Amino acid sequence: MAAATSAAWAQRLAGVRGLLLDVSGVLYDGGEGGGAPIPGSVEAVARIKQSGLKLRFCTNESQKSRDKFVGLLQRLGFDILVNEVTSPAPAACRILKERGLRPYLLVHDDLRSEFDGMDTSNPNCIIIADAAEGFSYQNLNKAFQVLINLENPVLISLGKGRYYKESDGLMLDVGPYMKALEYACDVQAEVVGKPAPEFFQAALKEMGLEAHETIMIGDDIVNDVGGAQRCGMRAMQVRTGKFRPSDEHHPEVKADGYVNDLAQAVDLILQYAGK
Nearer to a second copy, 84 or 248 (CB): 248
Nearer to a second copy, 17 or 64 (CB): 64
- Alpha carbon distance, N-terminus to C-terminus of the chain: 27
Nearer to a second copy, 13 or 128 (CB): 128
Q: How far is the CB of 76 from a second copy (least distance, A)?
A: 24
Q: How far is the CB of 163 from a second copy (least distance, A)?
A: 6
Nearer to a second copy, 118 or 171 (CB): 171
Nearer to a second copy, 116 or 186 (CB): 186
Do 51 and 270 form a contact (C-beta atoms < 8 A)? yes
CB proximity list for 39: less than 8 A, separation 6 or greater: 261, 263
Nearer to a second copy, 53 or 131 (CB): 131
Q: How far is the CB of 69 from a second copy (least distance, A)?
A: 20
Q: With CA atoms as reference, report the closest residue to 266 among 11, 43, 34.
A: 43
Nearer to a second copy, 142 or 239 (CB): 142
CB neighbours (10 Å) of residue 114? 25
Q: How far is the CB of 180 from a second copy (least distance, A)?
A: 4
H or E element at residue 218: strand 214-218
Q: How far is the CB of 181 from a second copy (least distance, A)?
A: 7
CB neighbours (10 Å) of residue 81? 12
Q: How far is the CB of 130 from a second copy (least distance, A)?
A: 10
Buried b / exposed e over 44-56, threshold 16 CB at 10 Å, is bbebbeeeebbbb
DSSP, collapsed to helix, strand or coil, labels residue 30 as strand
- Write the CA distances from 142 to 126, 136, 137, 148, 189, integer angstroms: 10, 10, 9, 10, 17
Q: How far is the CB of 105 from a second copy (least distance, A)?
A: 17
CA distance 254 to 218: 13
Nearer to a second copy, 182 or 206 (CB): 182
Q: How far is the CB of 139 from a second copy (least distance, A)?
A: 9
Which residues here bind a second copy, judged by CB under 8 A? 131-138, 140-141, 144-145, 148, 162-163, 169-172, 175-177, 179-186
CB proximity list for 101: less than 8 A, separation 6 or greater: 95, 124, 125, 154, 156
DSSP conformation letters of 180-214: HHHHHHT--PEEESTT-HHHHHHHHHHHT--GGGE
